[in-house]
Amino acid sequence: MKKTGLADLDDDLGVERVSLAEIAAERLRELILVGRLPPGQTLSERELSERLRISRTPLREAIRKLAAERLIDVLPNRRPQVADPSPDYIDDLFDVQAVLESLAGRLFVERASAEQLAEVTAIQTRLGQIADSGDPLEFFRTDMQFHSAIVSGAGNSALADTHRQYNAALFRARFNSSRQTRWRDVVMAEHKEILEALCARDAERSAAALTWHLLKAKANQEILRRETEQPAP
């Protein structure tokens, strides 16, 4: 119809008629991640559809989408529930995320452009500024950006997709961990090591630094879990 040398324009203009299901998924994801819909919360299709002012059909689609991202558990003939991953499952997620980011580091060294490296550097600089004065949420978001920028620079779209999913599933755990200012210096030092390895275009060192960083995050998360579990029983 309207192609022949205008292929690049399409991307720009992209009028982006997003479906209601897409919007609902986005909205629900946000509600879950920030905790407005807490883990274990049951979701009534009818009630939710009324509250979001959409019909059940697109809402169901949104729910299934989030189920595929492991943010919602859906069992047949039962109310969908906001995922409440067990500690063991969270550990499992961390292990996978670690190898994903490790691969990202290796590929980044091979493929990333100078701009992409500069981007990561810029984010790390910003992170350092926020670390001193900024609020926890902004620090966390920027921390996530650091990792996403590395994955993005790896130029592997499948990896990017899967990494984003695991990030969402790990969101709460990592956020709770990120709020702990006691670990902030160590986190920054690990980031610095990662960045240096990337700048040096040292694949193995980058991979190792990222693996270490993720497994450290996993360990921190376990410590935090034990501390907050203490008062309960």
Partner DNA sequence: AATGGTAAAATTGTATACCAAACACCTTTC
Partner DNA sequence: GAAAGGTGTTTGGTATACAATTTTACCATT
Which residue lies nearer to its own copies by CB, 136 or 155?
A: 155
HSE-up (13 A, CA, CB side) for residue 17: 0
Nearest approach, Cβ of 76 to DNA (angstroms)? 5
Q: How far apart are CA 31 and CA 57, in angstroms?
A: 20
* The token pair that represents 220 in the structure block: 């921190």
The interface with DNA within residues 44-73 (CB under 7 A) comprises: 44-47, 54-58, 60-61
Which residue lies nearer to DNA by CB, 22 or 91?
A: 22
Strand partners, 73: 81
When CB distances are held under 5 to 8 angstroms depending on the partner's kind, the choice from its own copies, DNA, none that residue 162 binds is its own copies
Q: How far apart are CA 222 and CA 198, in angstroms?
A: 28
Sole window of 34-42, 92-100, 213-221, 222-230 interacting with its own copies (rule: CB under 8 A): 92-100
* The token pair that represents 89 in the structure block: 């499952």
CA dist 171 → 153, 168, 177 (Å): 21, 5, 10
CA dist 52 → 23, 36, 45 (Å): 10, 14, 10
Helix (H) or strand (E) holding 167: helix 157-178
CA dist 8 → 4, 11, 15, 113, 152 (Å): 10, 6, 14, 21, 20
Nearest approach, Cβ of 12 to DNA (angstroms)? 15
When CB distances are held under 5 to 8 angstroms depending on the partner's kind, the choice from DNA, its own copies, none that residue 153 binds is none
| CB atoms inside a 10 Å sphere around CB 132 | 8
The yes or no reply on residue 45 touching its own copies (CB under 8 A) is no
Nearest CA to 90 among 232, 227, 230, 220? 220
Which residue lies nearer to DNA by CB, 54 or 188?
A: 54
When CB distances are held under 5 to 8 angstroms depending on the partner's kind, the choice from DNA, its own copies, none that residue 184 binds is none
The yes or no reply on residue 26 touching DNA (CB under 7 A) is no
Q: How far apart are CA 82 and CA 218, in angstroms?
A: 22
When CB distances are held under 5 to 8 angstroms depending on the partner's kind, the choice from its own copies, DNA, none that residue 230 binds is none
The yes or no reply on residue 50 touching its own copies (CB under 8 A) is no
Q: Where are the alpha helices (DSSP H) in 39-113?
A: 45-51, 56-68, 87-111
When CB distances are held under 5 to 8 angstroms depending on the partner's kind, the choice from DNA, its own copies, none that residue 100 binds is its own copies
The yes or no reply on residue 14 touching its own copies (CB under 8 A) is no
Residues found near its own copies in the complex (CB under 8 A): 17-19, 22, 57, 60-61, 64-65, 68, 70, 76-77, 89, 92-93, 95-96, 99-100, 102-103, 107, 156-159, 162, 166, 169
Residues found near DNA in the complex (CB under 7 A): 1, 4-5, 17, 19-21, 43-47, 54-58, 60-61, 74, 76-80
